[in-house]
Amino acid sequence: MRIQAKWENGALHPIQPIAIKHKIIVIDVPDDEIDEKTPAHQPDIIISGAGSDLLDRFEQILRPYREQLAKRRPFTEQDYKEMRYEHLEEKHLGRSKTPDS
């Protein structure tokens, strides 16, 4: 369906009222309609001050774990089944496969 809309204050407003089923829809805008001054990427959130320090600290804490995960092979369907089975054993039967038990 083609709909005419007016761009106003950073939002598209349909010329004719229309009921949309979903809150997010995809709109194709021809490249020649995009202003050249528009940045290629506009971040949704800009964090500055104390918040960015906290974010940096979280990144320091998580970096080693991310590196470990990046080196590990992806989980298979069988891995998920085994993890679920182990979880159910621990939860309902009190069994654990940890080395210290």
Q: Tens-of-pLDDT digits for all 101 residues of the chain?
A: 888 888 777 777 888 888 888 777 777 878 788 777 766 655 555 555 556 677 788 888 888 888 888 888 888 899 999 999 999 999 888 877 665 55
Find the domain containing 71 and state its range: 50-93
pTM for the whole structure? 0.32
Q: Which residues contact 39 (CB under 8 A, 6 or more apart)?
A: none
Residue 72 lies in a domain: yes
CA dist 12 and 4 (Å) reads 9
> Domains in the chain: how many in total?
1
Residue 23 lies in a domain: no
Residue 11 lies in a domain: no
Residue 67 lies in a domain: yes
Residue 33 lies in a domain: no
Residue 73 lies in a domain: yes
